């Protein structure tokens, strides 16, 4: 039904376009992938700065007026880590050309806008605009500070730092904060040039827009970058933990957050991925999972308790919000359920429920343009492009035995508790 166009249009520049008539919009994502490294602070600032101003649209107001003139486009620039890669994303979604009020091709204008802001940032003579730089550094620092406002993600962030302190994945937030603070407009520009030169660039689009138009415009963009030298994107997979490390930190909060980090035994992102995916889901995915059924429903200890697989790092995170005094009970029950997984004592029903739910979810992935771009974007990075139903098929081929084998390789690395008060005996 959908036509897929996939091509490497330049060294380390990949273009994937999925054509579909069924949507009301066109969506384009441009992702820049680099290893976590010396430019991390600059990448954080640039992701904000380049999403707020450019040379042509040199104020917040002008920039957003342009976005609004594209029929209220959804524009978003963001930064995230994918394993030990940093992904800077610039995304735009606009109404399809058939809704244009004056014959303008909205999608082509949207692509031109993306190319414009990526090629011509708000800089001159090797430095970003001073006032702008100062403002964006302020936003970035406030944003890093605000991490503690959301206790759930703060707990995971602390866990990650403590668990992976000797791996790039365990980003030292304090160092990052200071690095951002010490940036200046020149260093920022140097980082910008470096990103263009060394990043693997993945462009994904979905809707009615033409692959040829995208190829032409983004090839021209890539050709202008001098001396492209693609940085390799490797991630350290620590296969197992020697012993469990425990950490407790205090904050003035009502509900304690109990989070855990597990090593899966995966050697890379493709090592038994589908079996690990199912295993994590049986363990703590949907409401049919072991953690939900036992920690929440049976013992009434929490509102949420779940696990999620970080494929690109070979880690599983477990998270839960609990009453402080229930720490031991909750921790023991989570350990207990992990043992159930390792011994293969989960029921056939647990297993089939998970397979059925995962397959169902993957089959529906093609029903939103943004989801299509995200789904294929991460695959295009690895030059392997399969659709949702093929994904579902691979999930459905996973066996109970494979799930148990995966669970056996899992080791608990770190247990982290964010608590409001003194905790009982440990």
Partner 1 sequence: MNNIKEIKNEMLGERYYEIDHKSGLKIFVYPKENYASTYAIFGTKYGSIDTCFKLEGENEFTEVPEGIAHFLEHKLFESEELDAFARYAKTGASANAYTSFDKTCYLFQCSDNLEDSLEILLDFVQNPYFTEKTVQKEQGIIGQEINMYQDEPGWRSHFELLRALYHKHPVRIDIAGTVESISHITADLLYECYETFYNPANMALAVAGNVTVEQVLNMADKMIKPKECKKIERKFQIEPAEVVADKVEHKLSVAMPIFAIGFKEDIKTPERTLKESLESTLLLDIIAGKTSDLYEELLSEGLINTTFDAEFFEGYGYSAHLFNGESNDYDKVRERITAELRRVMNEGIDRETFDRIKKKHYGSFIMNFNDVDSLANSLVGEYFNGDGLFDQLSVLESITVEDVENRLRSAINLENSAMSVILPN
201 contacts 31 by C-beta, under 8 angstroms: yes
Task: Please give the residues from 49 up to 108 whose contact with partner 1 meets the rule CB under 8 A.
Answer: 52, 59-61, 64-65, 67-74, 93-96, 99, 101
Among 119, 248, 356, 411, binds partner 1 (CB under 8 A): 356
How does strand 200-207 pair with strand 245-250?
A: unpaired
Give how far Cα 398 sits from Cα of 373, 388, 411, Å.
26, 16, 21
Q: Is 80 buried (19+), middle (13-18) or exposed (0-12) by CB count in 10 A? A: exposed
Count the site residues for partner 1 by CB under 8 A. Answer: 74
Q: Which stretch binds partner 1 (CB under 8 A): 114-122, 136-144, 214-222, 262-270?
A: 136-144
Q: Which stretch binds partner 1 (CB under 8 A): 107-115, 138-146, 162-170, 376-384?
A: 138-146
| Least distance (Å) between residue 180 CB and partner 1 | 14
| Least distance (Å) between residue 24 CB and partner 1 | 5
414 contacts 244 by C-beta, under 8 angstroms: yes
- Is residue 368 a contact point for partner 1 (CB under 8 A)? yes
How does strand 127-128 pair with strand 85-95?
A: unpaired
How does strand 245-250 pair with strand 411-419?
A: parallel
In the bound state with partner 1, the residue whose beta carbon lies nearer, of 199 and 358, is 358
Helix residue spans in 50-128 (DSSP H)? 60-69, 106-119
Residues 13, 38, 315: CA angle, nearest 5 degrees: 75
Q: Give the x/- contact pattern for partner 1 in 271-310, rule: CB under 8 A.
A: ---------------xxx-------xx--xxxxx------
Q: What's phi and psi for 129, nearest 5 deg?
A: -55, 130
Tokens of 320: 């839960």
- The radius of gyration computed from the CA coordinates of the chain, to the nearest angstrom, equals 23
In the bound state with partner 1, the residue whose beta carbon lies nearer, of 250 and 267, is 250
- Is residue 421 a contact point for partner 1 (CB under 8 A)? no
In the bound state with partner 1, the residue whose beta carbon lies nearer, of 13 and 183, is 183
> Under 8 Å CB-to-CB from 417, ≥6 apart: which residues?
246, 247, 248, 249, 256, 257, 258, 259, 327, 423
* Other CB atoms within 10 A of residue 426 CB: 10
| Least distance (Å) between residue 367 CB and partner 1 | 5
Judged by phi (left if over 0) then psi (alpha if -120 to 50, else beta), residue 13 lies in: beta
Q: How far apart are CA 260 and CA 422, in angstroms?
A: 19
Q: How far apart are CA 268 and CA 190, in angstroms?
A: 32
In the bound state with partner 1, the residue whose beta carbon lies nearer, of 239 and 325, is 325
Among 360, 401, 421, 426, binds partner 1 (CB under 8 A): 360
| Least distance (Å) between residue 236 CB and partner 1 | 31
In the bound state with partner 1, the residue whose beta carbon lies nearer, of 41 and 392, is 392
| Least distance (Å) between residue 20 CB and partner 1 | 7
In the bound state with partner 1, the residue whose beta carbon lies nearer, of 297 and 345, is 297
Q: How far apart are CA 218 and CA 205, in angstroms?
A: 12
- Is residue 177 a contact point for partner 1 (CB under 8 A)? no
Among 4, 24, 224, 343, binds partner 1 (CB under 8 A): 24
| Least distance (Å) between residue 162 CB and partner 1 | 19
- Is residue 25 a contact point for partner 1 (CB under 8 A)? yes
Among 12, 196, 388, 414, binds partner 1 (CB under 8 A): 388
| Least distance (Å) between residue 110 CB and partner 1 | 11
- Is residue 359 a contact point for partner 1 (CB under 8 A)? yes
Note the Cα 341 to chain centre separation in Å. Answer: 27
Q: Which stretch binds partner 1 (CB under 8 A): 209-217, 266-274, 307-315, 349-357?
A: 349-357
In the bound state with partner 1, the residue whose beta carbon lies nearer, of 32 and 292, is 292
Task: Please give the residues from 206 up to 265 whose contact with partner 1 meets the rule CB under 8 A.
Answer: 251-255
Task: Please give the residues from 141 up to 160 whose contact with partner 1 meets the rule CB under 8 A.
Answer: 142-143, 145-151
């Amino acid at each position: 039904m959908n036509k897929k166009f996939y091509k490497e249009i330049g060294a380390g520049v990949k273009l994937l376009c999925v054509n579909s008539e069924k949507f009301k919009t066109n969506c384009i994502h441009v992702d820049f992938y680099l290893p976590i490294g010396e430019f991390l602070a600059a990448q954080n600032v640039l992701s904000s700065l380049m999403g707020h101003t450019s040379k042509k649209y040199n104020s917040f107001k002008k920039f957003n007026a342009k976005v609004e003139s594209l029929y209220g486009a959804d524009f978003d620039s963001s930064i995230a880590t994918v394993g030990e890669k940093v992904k800077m994303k610039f995304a735009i979604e606009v109404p399809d050309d058939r809704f244009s009020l004056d014959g303008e091709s909205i999608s082509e204008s949207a692509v031109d806008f993306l190319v414009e802001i990526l090629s011509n940032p708000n800089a001159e003579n090797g430095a970003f605009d001073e006032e702008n730089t100062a403002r964006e550094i302020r936003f970035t620092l406030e944003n890093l500070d605000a991490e503690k406002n959301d206790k759930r993600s703060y707990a995971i962030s602390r866990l990650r730092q403590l668990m992976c302190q000797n791996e790039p994945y365990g980003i030292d937030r304090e160092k990052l904060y200071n690095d951002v603070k010490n940036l200046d407009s020149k260093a920022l520009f140097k980082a910008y040039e470096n990103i263009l030169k060394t990043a693997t660039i993945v462009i994904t689009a979905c809707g009615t827009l033409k692959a040829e138009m995208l190829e032409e415009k983004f090839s021209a963009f890539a050709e202008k970058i001098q001396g492209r030298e693609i940085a390799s994107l490797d991630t350290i997979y620590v296969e197992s933990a020697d012993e469990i490390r425990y950490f407790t930190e205090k904050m003035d909060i009502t509900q304690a957050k109990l989070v855990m980090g597990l090593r899966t035994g995966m050697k890379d992102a493709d090592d038994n991925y589908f079996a690990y995916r199912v295993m994590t889901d049986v363990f703590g995915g949907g409401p049919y999972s072991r953690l939900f059924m036992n920690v929440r429903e049976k013992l009434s200890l929490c509102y949420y308790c779940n696990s999620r697989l970080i494929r690109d790092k070979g880690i599983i995170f477990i998270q839960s919000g609990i009453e402080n005094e229930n720490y031991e009970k909750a921790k023991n029950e989570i350990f207990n359920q992990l043992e159930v997984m390792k011994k293969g004592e989960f029921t056939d029903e647990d297993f089939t429920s998970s397979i059925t739910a995962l397959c169902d979810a993957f089959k529906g992935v093609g029903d939103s343009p943004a989801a299509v771009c995200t789904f294929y974007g991460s695959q295009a990075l690895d030059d392997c492009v399969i659709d949702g139903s093929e994904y579902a098929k691979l999930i459905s081929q996973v066996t109970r035995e494979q799930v148990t084998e995966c669970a056996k390789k899992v080791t608990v690395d770190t247990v982290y508790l964010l608590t409001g008060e003194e905790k009982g005996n440990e």
